[in-house]
């Protein structure tokens, strides 16, 4: 039995750190385990241009002072008003690595998202020309489509056309949740990859809904069947370079989750790598964790692999009940659960 191992320092290719007074309470959790993180732009108002991204990056760096640091890799939030010139400017200023497409209304703070994806061709072409990536929240928002089918509907109706029209654009189908998405990404061209969260590797919809409704398991895309979880675990542990780590750690104040209309998002940043190690051990694949967490992401993004290292030890930890989150608290995913793994930077 493996009791301790080291891997190259991982990166988180999908992270929410929020803004303002709460940010300093969450960024150190990421810095304690990750070298870089792709920062989601779904603030209120969203980060839509070069200047906004550069300013947000400065605020993150300021919040990191005195804490374990990571490098924030910024993204632009696409809206109906995004122009190709805005993409070119962000690239020229080194302000963003990628642009994020939220179909309008898909998730937390997505009201300003794109209403007509077919009208985005020039913007996607500018991304492809600059070598920036397109990150997709891959769910349709049509109220007639069942919430458990929204990812499948996106990959049946929208994604193939984007891939066909932009064959050189690097596309990340983010936080995939279904066996169908795994099959789709495996069959797609090499410029199409996917991130997988720890919570989708560890939980299914029964965790959220059987024996009581548990709002801290509510995230988007919503947890699916256990057969889907098993397919995600197979993909993550397969050493296929299309699949890489993205926590989608999404902190919300506890009262915003435990509410008659609770927010979507699970907070995994503080134990992220211990959670992934738990999932990989279930699949008897700890030896493939480094490829998924530390090698495939940089390869897909065209960035160097980190030189620092992370130690992963078999040492039990109980996930705390809550962390300070500005004036309130955030309850971590799997709070109160004992994990068999602990991590620290070498
Ligand atoms: C995210 C958030 O809270 O910002 N929520 C979530 O459930 N994942 C938004 C998102 O990535 O969908
Ligand atoms: Zn997210």
Which residues sit with their C-beta closer than 6 Å to ligand 1?
16, 42, 107-108, 137, 219-220, 248, 250, 264-265
In the annotation, is 321 catalytic? no
* Residue 245 contacts residue 196 (beta carbons within 8 Å): yes
Q: Which of 11, 149, 248, 256 is catalytic?
A: 248
CA 278 / ligand 2 centre spacing (Å): 22
Helix (H) / strand (E) containing 37 = strand 36-39
> How much is the pLDDT for 1?
85
Task: Give the span between the Cα atoms of 4 and 123, in whole angstroms.
Answer: 46
Strand partners, 135: 100, 172
- b/e 51-90 (16+ beta carbons within 10 angstroms → b): ebbbebbebbeebbeeeebbbbbbbbbbbeebebebbbbb
> How much is the pLDDT for 108?
80
Peptide bond before residue 221 is cis, with ω within 30 degrees of 0: yes
Q: How far is CA 91 from CA 74, 81, 155, in A?
A: 11, 18, 28
Task: Give the span between the Cα atoms of 168 and 208, in whole angstroms.
Answer: 39
CA 4 / ligand 2 centre spacing (Å): 31
> How much is the pLDDT for 174?
98
Residues 173-214 have pLDDT tens digits of 999 999 999 999 999 999 999 999 999 999 999 999 999 999
Query: How many Å from the N-terminal Cα to the C-terminal Cα in the chain?
Result: 21
Closest-CA residue, ligand 1 atom 11, reads 248
> How much is the pLDDT for 337?
97
Measured CA angle at 92 (ends 81, 56), to 5 deg: 65
> How much is the pLDDT for 334?
98
Which residues of the chain are under the pLDDT cut of 50?
none
> How much is the pLDDT for 235?
99
* Residue 310 contacts residue 6 (beta carbons within 8 Å): yes
> How much is the pLDDT for 110?
86
Q: How would you class 186 by CB atoms within 10 Å of its CB: exposed for 0-12, middle for 13-18, buried for 19 or more?
A: middle
3-state secondary structure 105-174: CCCCCCCCCECCHHHHHHHHHHHHHHCCEEEECCCCCCCCCCHHHHHHHHHHHCHHHHHHHCCCCCEEEC
> How much is the pLDDT for 330?
98
> How much is the pLDDT for 105?
87
> How much is the pLDDT for 258?
98
């Amino acid at each position: 039995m493996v009791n301790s191992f080291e891997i190259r320092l991982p990166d988180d290719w999908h992270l929410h750190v929020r803004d303002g007074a709460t940010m300093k309470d969450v960024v150190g959790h990421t810095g304690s385990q990750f070298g870089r993180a792709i920062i989601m732009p779904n603030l209120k108002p969203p980060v839509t241009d070069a200047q906004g991204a550069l300013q947000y990056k400065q605020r993150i760096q300021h919040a990191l002072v005195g804490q374990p640091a990571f490098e924030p890799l910024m993204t632009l939030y696409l809206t109906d008003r995004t122009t190709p010139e805005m993409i070119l400017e962000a690239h020229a200023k080194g302000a963003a690595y990628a642009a994020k497409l939220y179909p309008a209304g898909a998730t937390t703070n997505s009201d300003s998202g794109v209403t007509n994806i077919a009208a985005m061709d020039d913007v996607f072409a500018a991304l492809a020309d600059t070598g920036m990536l397109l990150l997709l929240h891959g769910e349709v928002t049509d109220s007639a489509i069942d919430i458990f089918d929204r990812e499948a509907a996106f990959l049946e109706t929208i994604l193939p056309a984007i891939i066909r029209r932009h064959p050189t654009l690097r596309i990340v189908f983010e936080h995939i949740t279904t066996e169908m998405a795994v099959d789709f990404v495996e069959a797609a061209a090499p410029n199409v990859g996917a991130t997988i969260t720890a919570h989708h590797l560890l939980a299914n919809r029964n965790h959220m809904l059987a024996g009581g409704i548990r709002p801290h398991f509510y995230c988007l895309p919503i947890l699916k069947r256990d057969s889907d979880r098993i397919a995600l675990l197979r993909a993550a542990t397969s050493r296929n370079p299309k699949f890489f780590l993205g926590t989608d750690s999404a902190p919300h104040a506890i009262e915003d989750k435990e509410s008659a209309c609770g927010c979507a998002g699970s907070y995994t940043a503080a134990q992220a790598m211990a959670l992934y190690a738990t999932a990989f051990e279930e699949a008897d694949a700890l030896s493939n964790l480094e490829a998924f967490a530390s090698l495939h992401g940089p390869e897909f993004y065209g960035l160097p692999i980190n030189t620092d290292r992370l130690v992963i030890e078999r040492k039990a930890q109980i996930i705390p009940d809550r962390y300070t989150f500005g004036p309130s608290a955030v309850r971590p995913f799997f709070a109160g659960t004992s994990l068999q793994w602990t991590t620290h930077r070498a």
